[in-house]
């Protein structure tokens, strides 16, 4: 029996389940119900905000330990500190190019659409005090870099500072490689066990995801109203149209650089994208996206390094929004920026958008800094965007999430840490490892697939996709980072 037959059997089992038990259906129903409640009963919609906030907190509760454990076990699987360094450098290079292109693309769209033309805003009517409640304190470049280094490891975990957790995890994983897996076997075994516990907690948390999506969507519509769509219609339309075209370009990038069929990936991760849209948060799906990327053949080390870093440095959706909003404000005040001014704005936005990652209201801070540097329109004009900013969340979240997934595939392909056989199996609906089976609540399907594979003499799927066996090093002929139970490279050709 072939892999396709195994996947077909898996699909057949899934069809037996009532449609209303699928997370995808429950999320759609929750989002529609949330929009209806927010529109028809706005006061009630605003009161449902704790449901969305509570779900996001449940997710944040496990993100820091998840990232730490994934990175440490992933680096130990690779067994090469230099390889980890290459992954980091290539990821940052990709992030810079992608963000620069997203900013440029946004400027092109804004020049064509002219979303702010004809508004003729009077600067005397502006009040910048409205921004004070939604923005944090801007950081200098030096402060941002120093902020990545934790003063206390426990403090990094307590404050849920993901960049600091990632920074410490890389050092910890590198130390494990240098000391050797044999000496660190007890630690790695403990970490694998804790990681399984975290996956189990994540599976439980995801069962209440529809409730969180309902509360978040009801609050957004109840607080800001559908009427906002009319007031800022041209700006919103320009941003969403740009997002759709940019996502189309990501399809080309994914196929050209990594040979990844992105449409199949989107179908594979449709629940995660819908949840991100419903909660207006990419953090809400970080654990599941990391699991699904690993399940789709990306090495655990690459996923652990690229995805969390991308959440701060590869915000393509936010970049598109910033550049379009900048020209929207300039046009609203009756100014047409020259090519030189737009190039200068591009450079400023590229710097400010990176240095303000994780700061509340960072988009307003980035636009304010750019407006102050250009001196074209008053900084207080940024307050005009307060009404439309939350409506843009869905656009930003979807592009940010897809952009980081593409970045992970591209970097994994560059480093030859992308198992295409696992990717095809995952896209066909098969669970390829035990860790994914736990977090995706599909352990029965995984065990049944394993039984079918054993009957047909096919290699078993890895029990974990990150760390090799702590008793022995990676065997010759087995790809580094493939994980426990990974088969020799030559074994794949017969599938």
Which residues, 6 or more positions from 21, have their beta carbon under 8 angstroms from its beta carbon? none
> What is the spatial distance between Cα 188 and Cα 191, in angstroms, rounded to a whole number?
5
Which residues, 6 or more positions from 366, have their beta carbon under 8 angstroms from its beta carbon? 322, 349, 352, 353, 356
Q: What is the largest CA-CA distance in the chain?
A: 78
pLDDT band at 472 (very low <50, low <70, confident <90, very high): very low
pLDDT band at 437 (very low <50, low <70, confident <90, very high): low
Radius of gyration, CA atoms only, the chain: 23
Report the pLDDT value the prediction gives residue 5, as an integer from 0 to 100.
47
In this prediction, residues 237-254 reach a mean pLDDT of 94
Report the pLDDT value the prediction gives residue 37, as an integer from 0 to 100.
92
Report the pLDDT value the prediction gives residue 264, as an integer from 0 to 100.
94
Q: pLDDT of 269-291, one tens digit each? A: 998 898 888 888 788 888 889 98
Q: pLDDT of 127-172, one tens digit each? A: 555 444 444 455 555 776 787 888 889 988 988 888 888 889 989 9
Q: Is 418 helix (H, G, I), strand (E, B) or coil?
A: strand
What's the pTM value of the predicted model, to 2 decimals? 0.75
Report the pLDDT value the prediction gives residue 361, as an integer from 0 to 100.
58
Q: Domain 3-423 sits in which CATH superfamily?
A: Sodium:dicarboxylate symporter (1.10.3860.10)
Above 60 in pLDDT, residue 16?
Answer: no
> What is the spatial distance between Cα 326 and Cα 185, in angstroms, rounded to a whole number?
53
Which residues, 6 or more positions from 365, have their beta carbon under 8 angstroms from its beta carbon? 135, 136, 138, 352, 356, 359
Q: pLDDT of 217-238, one tens digit each? A: 888 888 777 666 666 788 889 9
Domain boundaries, the chain: 3-423
Q: pLDDT of 281-330, one tens digit each? A: 788 888 889 989 998 999 888 998 899 888 888 889 989 999 999 998 88
Phi and psi, residue 488, nearest 5°: -60, 150
Report the pLDDT value the prediction gives residue 120, as an integer from 0 to 100.
66
């Amino acid at each position: 029996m072939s892999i396709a037959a195994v996947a077909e059997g898996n699909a057949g089992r899934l069809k037996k389940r009532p449609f209303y038990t699928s997370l995808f259906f429950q999320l759609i129903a929750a989002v529609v119900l949330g929009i209806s409640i927010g529109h028809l009963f706005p006061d009630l919609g605003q009161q449902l905000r704790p449901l969305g906030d509570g779900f996001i907190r449940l997710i944040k509760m496990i993100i820091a330990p998840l990232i730490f454990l994934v990175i440490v076990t992933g680096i130990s699987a690779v067994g090469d500190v230099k390889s980890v360094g290459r992954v980091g450098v290539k990821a940052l290079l990709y992030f810079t190019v992608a963000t620069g292109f997203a900013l440029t693309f946004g400027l092109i769209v804004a020049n064509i659409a002219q979303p702010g033309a004809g508004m003729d805003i009077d600067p005397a009517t502006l009040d910048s005090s409205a921004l004070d409640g939604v923005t944090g304190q801007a950081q200098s470049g030096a402060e941002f870099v120093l902020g990545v280094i934790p003063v206390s490891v426990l403090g990094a975990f307590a404050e849920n500072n993901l960049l600091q957790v990632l920074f410490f995890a890389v050092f910890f994983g590198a130390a494990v490689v240098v000391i050797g897996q044999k000496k660190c076997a007890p630690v790695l075994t403990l970490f694998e066990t804790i990681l399984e516990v975290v996956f189990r907690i994540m599976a439980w948390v995801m069962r209440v995801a529809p409730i969180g999506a309902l509360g978040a969507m009801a609050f957004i519509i109840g607080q800001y109203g559908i009427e906002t769509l009319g007031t800022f219609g041209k700006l919103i339309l320009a941003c969403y149209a740009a997002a759709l075209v940019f996502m189309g370009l990501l399809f080309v990038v994914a196929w050209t650089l990594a040979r990844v069929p992105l449409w199949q990936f989107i179908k594979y991760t449709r629940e995660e994208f819908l949840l991100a849209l419903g909660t207006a948060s990419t953090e809400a799906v970080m654990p599941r996206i990391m699991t699904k990327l690993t399940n789709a053949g990306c090495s655990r080390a690459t996923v652990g390094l690229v995805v969390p870093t991308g959440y701060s440095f590869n915000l393509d959706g936010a970049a598109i929004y910033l550049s379009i909003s900048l020209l929207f404000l300039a046009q609203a005040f009756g100014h047409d920026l020259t090519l030189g001014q737009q190039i200068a704005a591009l450079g400023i936005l590229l710097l400010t958008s990176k240095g303000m990652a994780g700061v509340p209201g960072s988009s307003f801070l980035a636009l304010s800094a750019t407006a102050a540097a250009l001196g074209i329109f008053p900084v207080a004009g940024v307050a005009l965007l307060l009404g439309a900013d939350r409506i843009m969340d869905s656009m930003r979240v979807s592009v940010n999430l897809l952009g980081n997934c593409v970045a992970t595939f591209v970097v994994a392909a560059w480093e030859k840490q992308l198992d295409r056989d696992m990717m095809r199996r995952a896209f066909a609906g098969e669970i390829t490892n035990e860790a994914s089976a736990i977090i995706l609540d599909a352990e029965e399907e995984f065990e049944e697939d394993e039984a079918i594979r054993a009957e047909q003499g096919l290699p078993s799927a890895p029990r974990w996709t990150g760390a090799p066996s702590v008793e022995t090093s990676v065997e010759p002929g087995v790809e580094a980072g493939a994980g426990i139970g990974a088969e020799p490279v030559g074994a794949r050709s017969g599938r």
